[in-house]
């Protein structure tokens, strides 16, 4: 609703959502202008940095300063030949979200131009082209979107991009990064997924730091699929995680993403953007290498977490499915003995016609179905994944990718047991 | 199969499975005597410490030393009035397992007497009574066993035990510890779950350290349900985790159990068994307090992990179930938009008649369904758990407990949103 009367006069060219500075009764308030609160159009409402709203009487306002209206930068494809050319693909998520000050909701709605102008440092690092693929909160993505992203990245690389950055929601970014790791083979240049845990309207917004480090990663020598996010709680560094060995381990913290069972490839300090290499087992940039796009996918795959007293329906419901990824307990177990219901879980698994792949809900560590009889029962019925240490998420993306690309069941089994993109390691190391 | 001829003569009183020391051709081999390999009864087979088998010709054996046959300690209930009385309940798992040298499999089969004699230090700490409840690998446990354990612990406490130790498999020990935390109310004494990641036939066996620290915890002042496990990779300390805030985070490492979002209550150094308190917000031992056993349970509950492209069958299959715990992505989301299949997930949730509780597969951090529209859609249909930070496992055990004890749906909802045993915290702290 619009403001009226004295407030309207006070606001002049200031618009809803603009950041303003208000002096009133000897105090200074900084915040975003909110829509008028209900019928009281005579009260000025600001959302302060701490998230609270404050109402101010126009009579008491001594001074109100709106934002400096910056002349809109027209982003031209001015090509600096000394710089690398980076393509940014927008896929939605918090990192490309704006707050709708009318509803208070955060929606992925930034334009490509807004992204580029919002973090100016990236244009100093590289020639930037940006375009929107789609604008989804990542929790709503499906393997169909993984397929689209893979195709569009390959298109950019074939068109000569020296690196690709994908701006992506964080909820399931690690599922997407795993799929892209399998689908984009023989990468000649870096592919970097980047997200934000806090949207740009918040003081703790991590967009600038993450995006700056991501573009730095994209012009680097590391021709891998990576995830670039905050390393810790302060703004001093990001890390580049291997696409198949990363996981979101906190619902809201900026350092939510962690490498599992390996170190990140690199730490990128901010704001210096200096790189510190933590590993050297990565593919090097090589523009002469031809990217191979292998982006089939099979949607009839389910991910099921085992638990005490689990219903056999968690298995039997997936009749006709091509693949089942189990998130077992411990070394890779599901309940199969000692109660009638457990035994039904085992028979449902026996009846399942597709491939079954075991992982562990402990997340870190290796599957070993040889130690206990529960595991041996599972091995006997052909459950795959023994001795591997894939995260459940990387394993789920792998099953979808394998079944979408393998010519037959035998090839699929072979691919499951082959490391395509570092999704399992030969040895476990104590980090 | 039994050995014959020269080997049989060499072995004398040594039995299959015994630890032996063999000198042969100038080398010393230490290992467990294995059953004879197939038809070759003339070759002595040892399983070495590194897990490999070695075959030795009896002619070349210079010396073979079997185990010293210790006179079997008869465990008497010799009561030292100066010491506290601790009841140990065996529920199976690696910690009470023996290797079957015939098959190589590890099975939970120790007797109560064996446990007590195996770790003599615990009899110096307290008067120990031990009995077997059941011998299950924990992955096969169901809420029925949780109920039995709760009942038996209460029985011991009512009979005057100064503390109870439960020897339990590690796979799902954190599910059981959560249930016991809800079911055993107004605890006057400590209740400690303890497990082992490596069985007693292995050099890296953690049974002694974990059990010693667990008995120390059971005679302590902390009247809470706790999990006692190795803190790090060496044998120098265990930690006592709060029963509702602990998780198995590695499939095989001895330090697999971690507190989530809180510190453990105490560090217990080994072998000194000195305690270092890390928190002070625990109930104190008070023998005058009367334990309250609230051990109902509802089996018609499912735990479902959301994932990109998830099938609506993961929801619709549970028609008739009383509760559904969702392991959502990020702040607590499931796919509900942007594709026909996602929309079916939302309608399946709308149709579900029981209680739905949201948690996060990020494991750490709080659920907040108010930030994004996906979450708001879920709040609208009555999904519970907003602003809580329960682990999915503690939430699953809670749903089972709440629905098994609440008089009606309204009381159940109220209990879900009430902290029963510290399963969610009021504030999040950076640890």
Per-residue pLDDT tens digits for B118-161: 888 999 999 999 999 999 999 999 999 999 999 999 999 999 99
Six token digits for residue A166: 């994908």
How high is the pLDDT of residue B153? Answer: 98
Per-residue pLDDT tens digits for A47-80: 776 667 788 888 888 888 887 654 444 455 568 8
Say what the pLDDT of residue B68 is.
64
The whole-angstrom separation of Cα B227 and Cα B222 is 12
> Angle at CA A234, nearest 5°, toward A231 and A237?
40
pLDDT of residue A356: 98
Q: Does B119 touch chain A (CB under 8 A)?
A: no
Catalytic residue among B248, B258, B322, B398: B248
Residues with pLDDT less than 50, chain A: 70-74
To the nearest whole Å, the CA of A203 is away from the closest chain B CA by: 16
**How confident is the model at residue B389, as a pLDDT?**
98
pLDDT by residue (tens digit) across A165-202? 999 999 999 999 999 999 999 999 999 999 999 987 77
- Is CATH 3.30.565.10 what the domain over A5-65 is classified as, yes or no? no
Architecture of domain A85-293: 3-Layer(aba) Sandwich (3.40)
Q: Please, which residues have CB within 8 angstroms of residue A163's CB and are 6 or more apart in sequence?
A: A84, A86, A87, A126, A189, A190, A191, A192, A215, A217, A218, A219, A220
| Chain A residues within 8 A of B336 when measuring between CB atoms | 140
Smallest CA-to-CA distance from B33 within B18, B13, B50 is with B18
Residue A383, burial from CB neighbour count under 10 angstroms (0-12, 13-18, 19+): buried
Q: Which of A170, A302, A335 sits opposite B139 (nearest CB)?
A: A335
Q: Is the pLDDT of residue B76 over 60?
A: no
CB contact under 8 A, B140 and A310: no
What pLDDT is attached to residue B30? Answer: 84
Same fold, A5-65 and A85-293: no
Residue B6 has pLDDT above 90, yes or no: no
> In this structure, are residues B186 and B292 in contact, taking their beta carbons and an 8 Å threshold?
yes
> Which residues have CB under 8 Å from A51's CB, separation 6+?
none
Query: Tens of pLDDT along B217-246?
Result: 999 999 999 999 999 999 999 999 999 999
Partners of B319 on chain A (C-beta within 8 Å) are none
Active site residue A94: yes
Q: Express as a percent the part of chain B with pLDDT over 70.
A: 92
The whole-model pTM stands at: 0.85
Beta strands in B49-105, from DSSP E residues, in sequence order: 53-56, 61-65, 85-92, 97-99
Distance CA A109, CA A135 (A): 7
Closest chain B residue to A334 measured between Cα atoms? Answer: B139
Q: Which of A171, A221, A235, A236 is catalytic?
A: A171
Check residue A38 and give left, alpha or beta (phi > 0: left; psi -120 to 50: alpha). Answer: left
Taking the C-alpha atoms of residue B273 and residue B122, their distance in angstroms, rounded to an integer, is: 11
Q: Considering the domain B301-416 in this protein, what is its CATH number?
A: 3.40.50.40
pLDDT tens figures, A417-429: 999 999 999 877 6
- Residue B310 or residue B10, greater confidence: B310
- With CA atoms as reference, the chain B residue closest to A260 would be B250
DSSP B123-157: HHHSEEEEEEEEEE-GGG--HHHHHHHHHHHHHHH
Which of B54-58, B251-255, B359-363, B368-372 shows the lowest mean pLDDT across its residues? B54-58
Angstrom distance (rounded) from CA A306 to CA B345: 20
Nearest residue, CB atoms, A251 vs list B145, B170, B367: B367
A171 classed as catalytic? yes
The secondary structure element, H or E, covering residue B275 is: strand B275-277
Asked about B248 being catalytic, the answer comes back as yes
**Per-residue model confidence as pLDDT tens digits over B277-328:** 999 999 999 999 999 999 999 999 999 999 999 999 999 999 999 999 999 9
The alpha carbon of residue B190 is apart from the nearest alpha carbon of chain A, in Å, by 24
Cα of A20 to nearest chain B Cα, Å = 23
Q: Is the pLDDT of residue B77 over 60?
A: no
Inter-chain CB proximity A307 and B175 less than 8 Å: yes
A166: contact with B, CB 8 A cutoff: no
- CA–CA gap between residue B128 and residue B122 (Å, rounded): 7
Burial (0-12, 13-18, 19+ Cβ within 10 Å), B273: middle
* Average per-residue pLDDT for chain B: 91
Other Cβ atoms closer than 10 A to B262: 20
Lateral strand order in the sheet of B323-328: B301-305, B323-328, B355-360
Which of A102, A137, A352 is the best substitution to test chain B (most B C-beta atoms within 10 A)? Answer: A137
Q: Are A315 and A303 in contact (CB under 8 A)?
A: no
Query: Rounded to an integer, what distance in angstroms lies between the CA atom of residue A11 and that of residue A58?
Result: 10
- Which residue of the set A47, A84, A129, A248 is catalytic? A248
- Specify the 3-state DSSP secondary structure of A257: strand
Q: What is the per-residue pLDDT for A10? A: 81
Closest among B371, B427, B375 to A201, alpha carbons compared: B371
Confirm or reject contact between B286 and chain A (CB < 8 A).
no
Question: Does residue A314 belong to the interface with chain B, where contact is any CB pair within 8 Å?
Answer: yes
The residue of A171, A179, A254, A376 whose CB has the most chain B CBs within 10 angstroms, and thus the best one to mutate to test that interface, is A171
A172 lies within 8 A of chain B by CB:
yes
Q: How far is A336 from chain B (nearest CA, A)?
A: 6
Question: What's the pLDDT at A70?
Answer: 45
**Interface size between A and B, measured as CB pairs under 8 A:** 226
State residue A46's pLDDT score. Answer: 80
**B45's tokens:** 């087979």
Q: Residue A39 has what pLDDT?
A: 58
Please state the domain extents for chain A: 5-65, 85-293, 301-416
Active site residue A248: yes
Beta bridge partners of B163: B86
Rounded to an integer, what is the distance from CA B112 to the centroid of its chain? 18
- A208: tokens are 């600038």
């Amino acid at each position: 609703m619009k403001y009226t009367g004295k407030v309207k006069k006070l606001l002049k060219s200031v618009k809803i959502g603009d950041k303003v500075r208000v002096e009133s009764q000897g105090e200074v308030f900084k915040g975003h202008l909110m829509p008028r609160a209900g019928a009281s159009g005579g009260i000025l409402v600001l959302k302060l940095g701490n998230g609270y709203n404050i109402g101010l009487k126009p009579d008491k306002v001594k001074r109100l300063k709106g934002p400096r209206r910056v002349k809109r930068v027209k982003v031209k494809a001015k090509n600096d030949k000394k710089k690398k050319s980076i393509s940014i693909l927008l896929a939605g998520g918090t990192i490309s979200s704006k707050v709708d000050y009318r509803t208070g909701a955060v929606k992925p709605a930034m334009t490509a131009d807004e992204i580029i102008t919002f973090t100016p440092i990236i244009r100093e690092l590289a020639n930037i082209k940006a375009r929107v693929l789609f604008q989804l909160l990542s929790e709503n993505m499906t393997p169909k979107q993984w397929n689209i992203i893979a195709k569009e990245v390959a298109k950019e690389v074939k068109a000569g991009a020296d690196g690709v950055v994908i701006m992506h929601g964080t909820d399931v970014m690690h599922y997407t990064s795993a799929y892209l790791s399998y689908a984009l083979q023989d990468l000649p240049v870096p592919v970097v997924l980047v997200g934000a845990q806090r949207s740009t309207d918040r003081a703790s917004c991590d967009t600038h730091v993450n995006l700056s480090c991501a573009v730095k990663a994209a012009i680097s020598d590391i021709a891998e699929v990576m995830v670039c996010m905050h390393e810790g709680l302060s703004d001093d560094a990001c890390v580049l995680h291997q696409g198949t060995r990363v996981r979101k381990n906190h619902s809201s913290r900026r350092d939510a993403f962690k490498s599992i069972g390996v170190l990140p490839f690199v730490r990128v300090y901010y704001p210096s953007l200096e790189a510190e290499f933590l590993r050297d087992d990565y593919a090097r940039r090589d523009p002469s290498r031809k990217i191979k796009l292998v982006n089939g996918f099979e949607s009839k795959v389910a991910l099921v977490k085992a638990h005490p007293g689990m219903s056999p329906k968690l298995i039997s419901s997936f009749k006709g499915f091509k693949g089942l990824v189990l998130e077992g307990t411990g070394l890779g177990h599901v309940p199969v003995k000692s109660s009638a219901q457990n035994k039904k879980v085992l028979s449902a698994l026996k009846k399942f016609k597709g491939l079954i792949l075991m992982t562990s809900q402990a997340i870190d560590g290796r599957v070993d179905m040889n130690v206990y009889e529960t595991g041996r029962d599972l091995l006997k019925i052909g459950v795959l994944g023994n001795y591997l240490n894939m995260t459940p998420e990387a394993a789920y993306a792998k099953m979808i990718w394998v079944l979408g690309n393998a010519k037959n069941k035998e090839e699929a089994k072979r691919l499951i047991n082959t490391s395509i993109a570092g999704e399992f390691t030969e040895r476990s190391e104590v980090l």
